[in-house]
Amino acid sequence: MVETTRDTGKAEPTSAPVEQQRWQVVPAPVQPPPRRAHRHDLRTTIAIDLGRLAATMSRRFGLGSGAMIGGRIALTLQPRALRTLALGRQVVMVTGTNGKTTTTRMVAEALRSRAPAVSNATGANMPDGHVAALMTDPSAPFAALEVDELHLAQVTAQFEPAVVLLLNLSRDQLDRVGEIRTVAESLRHALAQAPGAHVVANRDDPNIVYAAADHPRVTWVSGGSRWKDDGLNCPRCGAFLGDADRAWRCECGLSRPEADWTVTADAAVAADGTRHELDLALPGQVNRVNATFAMAAAQHLGCDQAAAVHRIQRITQAAGRYGTVRLAGRPVRLLLAKNPASWLEMLDLVSTEQHPLVLVLNSREADGHDVSWLWDVDFELLAGRPVRVAGDRALDLAVRLHYAGVPATVADTVDEALAAAGDGVPDVIANYTAFRDLLARSRS
């Protein structure tokens, strides 16, 4: 609060002392952004009403969360539903190979420090999931939406988000998604369709740098990268770059940008030196980086930074990730690792601890059938530490662990592995379908 003094400029009688008026400058309270009500045409109204009804019935009869079916029905009846529901809102889109669900949860919480925000919290990250999320509260002025990397261009063709977060790109389900260069080109195209959006991008990932470099409004975040094997060559021309953590500049002109935010072991540091301490409930450097992306988005949309950080710090899990659940009659911490980069992050997280460890690996359609990438992961981080393995591809995983010097015991089921695990709260690292099934079991 600042005090100022102003002379009134009026003549006063000489017998009375000259009185000055004292003014106090009080900052105006932060007001939530207005959300104008939009009148929908009859077709759109019917599509939204039927979509909501389908989502409600799905939840009521235990058929699912309703996070997709409602949106799918609404889009079938009205293909323009996504554009219509996004009209008048400030929408943050979050994409990348890893960290989308957690970062989206952080963004949603940060935005709620200022005003209501809707979000596809269960990870339904394609247009039907976006429509279902937006239908939950048509009056909310904010939305935080996770979006599949290959669907961002489809979304920006419908409407222009206020902010787009580009987290990272690495190999993942190559038999479904395709090569990283294809995904990077798709992201470039998506951003070209949204020139007015503000982009928050990872400067430590050359593939993300390539996707965002030509956009006019970019905030660059630097938090380091544990997984480097997919960023050794220039995504524009193919020249060898080497370690992307250093200051690199390719002969084609693509270069590592200067950081606007740098993530340390305990804080996010702005370019001007301002520090924001990150005492998170969620563990690891990867989540401090995710939190910094969320902070940058919230700051751009006018949120009070301290209030946003406070809400982010209270998050203990995101769609079951990092949460403690009960399986086989005991509490376990459930961790998701679905590709080489995320396996390496989770191994880095548990390698400094001595909790009982169970690794679960499937190779179903949603995981990708090829598990040859196991040989790219640094399982040597666990050398000498006994682990138990389960899942459809437990034997493949056990062979890889054997060559990494990790004593592994194969179990027929996760329950069997947990029953034989030692004292304490086990860490269970599971890939996508294994994680999904274990989480569903814990909630039943």
Query: Tokens standing for 362?
Result: 């499937």
pLDDT of residue 36: 55
- 8-17, 66-75, 275-284: the lowest-pLDDT one: 8-17
pLDDT of residue 6: 40
370 is catalytic: yes
Q: Per the residue annotation, which of 175, 229, 245, 370 is the catalytic one?
A: 370
Under 8 Å CB-to-CB from 114, ≥6 apart: which residues? 30, 32, 33, 142, 298, 301, 302, 303, 304, 307, 308
d(CA 246, CA 326): 43
Read off the amino acid at residue 340: P
Q: Which residue has the higher pLDDT, 124 or 290?
A: 290
Q: What is the model's pTM?
A: 0.88
* Residue limits of CATH 3.90.190.20 in the chain: 324-443
d(CA 229, CA 118): 36
Q: At what angle do helices 305-313 and 100-111 cross, to 10 degrees?
A: 130
Strand partners, 2: 25
Residue 175 has pLDDT above 60, yes or no: no
Asked if 252 and 209 touch (Cβ cutoff 8 Å), the reply is no
State the pairing for strand pair 387-390/324-327: unpaired
pLDDT of residue 55: 82
pLDDT of residue 16: 44
Its CATH class, for the domain covering 81-313, is alpha beta
Percent of all residues in the chain with a pLDDT value above 90, rounded to a whole number = 73
Give residue-wise pLDDT tens across range 150-171. Answer: 999 999 999 999 999 999 999 8
Whole-number Cα distances in Å, 405 to 243, 339, 399, 417, 421 = 27, 21, 10, 20, 19
Upper half-sphere CA count for residue 286 (Cβ side, 13 Å): 25
Query: Tokens standing for 39?
Result: 């009148």
Segment 373-389 shows an average pLDDT of 95
Segment 115-134 shows an average pLDDT of 92
d(CA 75, CA 329): 42
324-443: in CATH 3.90.190.20: yes
Mean pLDDT for all residues in the chain: 89
Residue 149 has pLDDT above 80, yes or no: yes
Segment 264-285 shows an average pLDDT of 94
Closest to 167 (Cα-Cα) out of 202, 126, 197: 202
Using DSSP's 3-state secondary structure scheme, residue 156 falls into helix
* Residue limits of CATH 3.40.1190.10 in the chain: 81-313
Binding-site positions for Zn(2+) read 234, 237, 250, 252
Give residue-wise pLDDT tens across range 334-348. Answer: 999 999 999 999 999
